[in-house]
Structure 1
């Protein structure tokens, strides 16, 4: 029996707005008010910013996956972690029960990032706080005719990505030359979306054209247990797309400020715990 063929279900282009300094520009790749459609993903923001935009702040109840598009991003957390990520690097954070960190541009750099918020099931919202840096050169690359796929997370193209998320996901960066084609295998029960970083691509069995800043959600079989195929064909000399996928959690959530919980009572508790110092000292 043939694998399930993915189609583009919905697509749009990111709209950007200028921000007040030291932030510069922001766009919503995945708007937060549509989290039920994107489950297990909550939102994804594309930001351009300088040092001072995202100083010390708390999180609870979800995970982040931050892809550095350009510039340098400095990560500092109150568990003693500190590092600088460069273009093509990814940082994973399981906020779990209490994360406190800062993410900022380095020196005079303009950091350009994509930050994905990934939900945690209710029984894991109080899990241990974890940070993991995945440097671009440590993600395995599988070449194919006319391009390559770099695997940051999950089992894709016969290799395993180094990112270890509490809720398993796949994250692939696919680079294509003009007229090159690639078929990406994904678990058919994974909700998935595509973001075009550069170029021009035709995606899915229904052949939807997406240019730079284009986003597409994909059809999937939530009760499926097999594999599915996403067809991609490049229409430009340099095309680069990111593909994210994960199994839906199907729990009601309350995203509020820096916290994502299952009820407003839990949100209030998170704010109270932060005020009482339970998140620990500032990340400086």
Structure 2
């Protein structure tokens, strides 16, 4: 595989105010190229606490995939992941009042058109339930999809590979990208050579389509990076605020349904649509 282009997203003040910085790793402006990835934010929080920030809000028409790189020691566990299929509409609450330090990557992932109105569902993958491929100088945490014979327990609507990889200095590892997936690599710490292209911390390397073996190599320091690859749907989307749909008329319908209280809160979903994975399957 080869890298077709490299981006260096800029960090800026986040919407939560003091202590929140964010960078749009995928900014949504070129969806035909990034399909099925609508948005990916790198959110870094060092909030002082006090006045509440965040709060309840809706989503519909896509999935959110939240990878917790550093948790808050309360509701968000370091190394865990949440996959929320918003489908026809869901409300969730992300209100923060206490002093909070967190680092998360939150992805907005397109649903296929025929499933944009699916019943909402949430899957929570505990850190202890993430399959890990481990050698003396490399570790691959398989959050979604498969790598090195390890497969995540998540049930995906849109095919998704999500790997967090750590490499010791000068180490290398190869993972396969499925032929039907569109992907990229984001370097969190260190400098890496990805498919013979040099990437430093904070840079994104988009992969040529077609899949195949992806070679990742560390430089003189330890490297931490993530690999995202997803199955593109090849369908246009309409989006506004927290909603994704087939048309602007559908967007207006979703706003009406939210105002009318027709979207359930995630905490009120039936048990069979609140799925928790707590341990790696044997």
Q: TM-score if structure 1 supplies the norm length?
A: 0.87
Partner of 2:64: 64
Report 1:197-236 matches (<5 A).
197-204=188-195, 207-221=196-210, 228-236=212-220
CA-CA distance at 1:159 after TM superposition: 1.1
Partner of 1:175: 166
Task: Measure the CA separation in 2 of the matches of 1:44 and 1:182.
Answer: 25
Task: Measure the CA separation in 1 of the matches of 2:84 and 2:267.
Answer: 14
Give a deviation string over 1:190-215, Cα, whole Å, max 9, x none.
101111111110001xx111111111
Runs (4+) off by over 3 Å: 49-53, 280-284
Q: Closer, same or farther in 2 for the Cα pair 1:262/1:195, shift >3 Å?
A: same
Query: Given that residues 15 and 27 in structure 1 are in contact (C-alpha distance below 8 angstroms), is that contact kept between their aligned partners in structure 2?
Result: yes
Give a deviation string over 1:88-121, Cα, whole Å, max 9, x none.
2111100011110012447211222110000001
CA-CA distance at 1:281 after TM superposition: 5.9
CA-CA distance at 1:125 after TM superposition: 0.8
Task: Measure the CA separation in 1 of the matches of 2:142 and 2:266.
Answer: 33
Partner of 2:280: none
Query: Given that residues 191 and 218 in structure 1 are in contact (C-alpha distance below 8 angstroms), is that contact kept between their aligned partners in structure 2?
Result: yes
Task: Measure the CA separation in 2 of the matches of 1:53 and 1:37.
Answer: 34
Q: Closer, same or farther in 2 for the Cα pair 1:43/1:164, shift >3 Å?
A: same
Query: Given that residues 92 and 265 in structure 2 are in contact (C-alpha distance below 8 angstroms), is that contact kept between their aligned partners in structure 1?
Result: no
Task: Measure the CA separation in 1 of the matches of 2:73 and 2:252.
Answer: 31
Q: Closer, same or farther in 2 for the Cα pair 1:114/1:189, shift >3 Å?
A: same
Query: Given that residues 238 and 248 in structure 2 are in contact (C-alpha distance below 8 angstroms), is that contact kept between their aligned partners in structure 1?
Result: yes
Query: Given that residues 61 and 117 in structure 2 are in contact (C-alpha distance below 8 angstroms), is that contact kept between their aligned partners in structure 1?
Result: yes
Over aligned residue pairs, what C-alpha RMSD do you find? Answer: 2.0
Task: Measure the CA separation in 1 of the matches of 2:161 and 2:96.
Answer: 27
Report 1:69-108 matches (<5 A).
69-72=69-72, 84-105=75-96, 107-108=98-99
Partner of 1:79: none
Q: TM-score if structure 2 supplies the norm length?
A: 0.87
Q: Closer, same or farther in 2 for the Cα pair 1:131/1:208, shift >3 Å?
A: same
Unmatched tracts of structure 1, length 5 or more? 1-5, 75-83, 222-226
Task: Measure the CA separation in 2 of the matches of 1:64 and 1:115.
Answer: 7
Partner of 2:3: 8
Give a deviation string over 1:41-93, Cα, whole Å, max 9, x none.
1110112344644310001000011111224287xxxxxxxxx1222211110
**Which of the numbers 224, 230, 235 marks the counterpart of 1:240?**
224
CA-CA distance at 1:280 after TM superposition: 3.7
Q: What secondary structure is seen at the aligned counterpart in 1 of 2:250?
A: helix
